Amino acid sequence: MKRVLILDLDNTIYPVLSIADEVFGDLFKLIDEQVDTQSAQKAKQELTRRPYQQVADEFGFPEELKEQGIQLLRNVKVENAMSPYKEYEQLRQVPIDKFLVTTGFTKLQFSKVEMLGVADDFKKVYVVDPDQSNLTKKDIFRKIMEQHGYATNEVLVIGDDPKSEIKAAIELGIDTFLFDPEGKYTNEGVTHHAKDYRDIAEIVSK
């Protein structure tokens, strides 16, 4: 039986594409100006899924562009109301502890939580900000278990990215749930894999 859910935020609780223009509009213009068209298009798609620093390094952004992007995103916040996936309500109804662990710029990530109206769903919200520290999601998962006395088999990590929170959880021996509404992935070595959250209540009760 699970005692706690640890959730990712982006593309797990809400779709990033719903706020992409608001958050990334100015950055996308910079990328279009300084990166070749094909790479720019791919990089912009990746920015809706992964931290800016990772994308900038992978696509070889010039150092000036990388720094300009960091400066932009460091100060951006969402100011319009946001809506979670309708599937998120199924997670809300599960009556166990929940933590939110998300990677990104601190001000931006906390503004998303506020505009989604989900802060009260969690015992604590953690932002893993590469701009401020070298901590990883794996570090935070370990910290949550140590501070609250959760055994590994009492935790379920829920996320959309096999290479981020899912990978970190697997390395710690924690059960995982890969949320994949578009059916993009195979099972990726995860414990559970689905397009919605309808089975979560049954999973946590076992």
Domain end point (choices 56, 75, 94):
75
In this structure, the answer to whether residues 58 and 110 fall within a common structural domain is: no
DSSP conformation letters of 31-94: HHHHS-HHHHHHHHHHTTTS-HHHHHHHTT--HHHHHHHHHHHHH----S-----TTHHHHHT-
> Same domain, yes or no, for 64 and 134?
no
Domain boundary among 60, 75, 90: 75
> Do 95 and 149 sit in the same domain of this protein?
yes
Torsion of CA 98, 119, 50, 190, to 10 degrees: 20
In total, the chain counts a number of residues equal to 206
Do 91 and 190 lie in one domain? The reply is: yes
Considering 57, 75, 93, which residue would you say is the last residue of a domain?
75
Whether 55 and 130 map to the same domain: the answer is: no
Q: Are residues 45 and 101 in the same domain?
A: no
Q: Are 56 and 27 members of one domain?
A: yes
Statement to judge: residues 127 and 193 lie in one domain? yes
pLDDT at 187: 78
CATH number at residue 125: 3.40.50.1000
Asked if residue 126 and residue 30 are part of one domain, the reply reads no
Per-residue pLDDT of the chain (206 residues; tens, 9 = 90+): 999 999 999 999 999 999 999 999 999 999 999 999 999 999 999 999 999 999 999 999 999 999 999 999 999 999 999 999 999 999 999 999 999 999 999 999 999 999 999 999 999 999 999 999 999 999 999 999 999 999 999 999 999 999 999 999 999 999 999 999 999 998 779 999 999 999 999 999 98
Q: Are residues 62 and 144 in the same domain?
A: no
Residues in CB range of 95: below 8 A, 6 or more apart = none
Classified as helix, coil or strand, 8 is: coil
Which H or E element spans position 160?
Answer: none
- 111 is in which domain, residue-wise? 4-15+81-205
Query: What is the rounded distance in angstroms from the CA atom of residue 144 to the CA atom of residue 140?
Result: 6
**Domain total for the chain?**
2
Say if residue 60 is in the same domain as residue 97: no
What gap in Å lies between CA 92 and CA 98, rounded to an integer? Answer: 9
